[in-house]
Amino acid sequence: MNLSASDTGQTPETTRTPGTTGTTGGPGAAGAPAAPAPTDGSGSGDRTVLRLTGVSHTYAGGRRRTAVLKNIDYAFARGTFYTVLGPSGSGKTTLLSLASGLDAPTSGSISFDGRDLAELGLGRYRNRHAATIFQQYNLLTYMTALQNVTTAMEITGAKPVSGSRRGRALELLQQVGLDRDMARRNVLRLSGGQQQRVAIARALACDVDILFADEPTGNLDEDTAQGIVDIFRELAHKQGKCVVVVSHAQQVAAQSDRVLTLRKGRLTEQVNPR
Ligand SMILES: Nc1ncnc2c1ncn2[C@@H]1O[C@H](COP(=O)(O)OP(=O)(O)OP(=O)(O)O)[C@@H](O)[C@H]1O
Ligand SMILES: [Mg+2]
C-alpha cells in the first residue's frame, strides 16, 4: 500500500501511438490537441509531472519471460484526468506499479518533475508525490476505516489545512459515502465496496501530486461510482492534480480528459472532446 506507500466504444477525436511522433507522448506532443487548461495557476509552461521514456518491462519466471510493456514513451500532465484501458493481462497494473514507484522498469526511465525516480528514491516518491488506490485495496485489516486514513496521513506527513487529521479523515470518509459508524468499524466488517471507498479516502488524504487508481469503481454502484469520478475530476481540474485511473468502465473513460489504451505492450492515446 501507499503508506511507505475492454475497451470503450467511444469515438476518439484523435488516436495516435505515443512514440511514433518522434517525441514523447502526452500533452503538447505533435498531433495531439492541447490539453484542457489547468486551473491551478501553473501557467502555460510545461505541465508535465511524470515522464516515461523508453519504458519496457519483462517478468522473468522460470524459463518463461513475459514482455508486458514495450518501449513506452509518455508524458503525464498536471491538471489532467486519464483513464487507462486494455484487455485483462495487457499490463495496466504493471504500468501503474512502475509509474507509482512500486517497481522499477526493466529498461527505460521514469521521471517526476524532471528528476529520475531512481535518483529521487522510490520510497520518497511514493510518500510525498504519488498515492495509489490498489485493485485489492491493501487496507490495514486490524484497524478501523478511520485509523486506516489517519495512519496514512501520519506516515506521509499530510496535514489538513485546518483542524485535526481525525476531522479531515472523517470528512473524506463522508465524502466517499461512509458515515461515522462505518468510519469506526474495523475494515473487515465493511463490504467490499465500502472497503474500496476507505482505500479511496486514504489516497485522497495524502496530499500528493499524482493519484493512481486501479479499478477504483469496480465494486461500486453507478451513483457511488459517479461520486468518485466527480472527486477525481475536481482533483484534476480544480486542484491541478494528475489523476491516472485504470478502469473498464465506460462511465469513467467518457469523463476523463485522455483515454490511454494498452494492447500488446504498446500505449495509444485518445483525447476526449470537452
Ligand atoms: N509478478 C509477476 N510475475 C510474473 N508475471 C506477472 C507478474 N505480474 C503480472 N504478470 C503478468 O504480466 C501480465 C500483465 O499483468 P497485469 O496485472 O499488469 O495486467 P492487467 O492489465 O492489470 O490485468 P487485469 O485487467 O486482469 O487486472 C500478465 O500476463 C500477468 O500474468
Ligand atoms: Mg490489473
Pocket of ligand 1 contains residue 89 by CB under 6 Å: yes
Neighbours of 44 (CB within 10 A): 8
d(CA 12, CA 208) in angstroms, rounded, equals 30
The rounded Å distance from CA 19 to ligand 1 centre is 23
The rounded Å distance from CA 40 to ligand 2 centre is 31
| Consecutive 10-residue averages of pLDDT for the chain (274 residues) | 35 37 38 39 67 96 87 97 95 96 96 96 93 89 97 91 94 94 97 91 92 90 88 92 93 94 95 72
Pocket of ligand 1 contains residue 241 by CB under 6 Å: no
Residue 88: CA count within 13 A, CB half-sphere: 1
Residue 13 C-alpha cell reads as 477525436
What does the pLDDT read at residue 40?
36
Pocket of ligand 1 contains residue 62 by CB under 6 Å: no
Most distant pair of Cα atoms in the chain: their distance: 55
The rounded Å distance from CA 94 to ligand 2 centre is 7
What does the pLDDT read at residue 65?
87
3-state DSSP percent of the chain in helix, strand and coil, to 5: 30, 25, 45
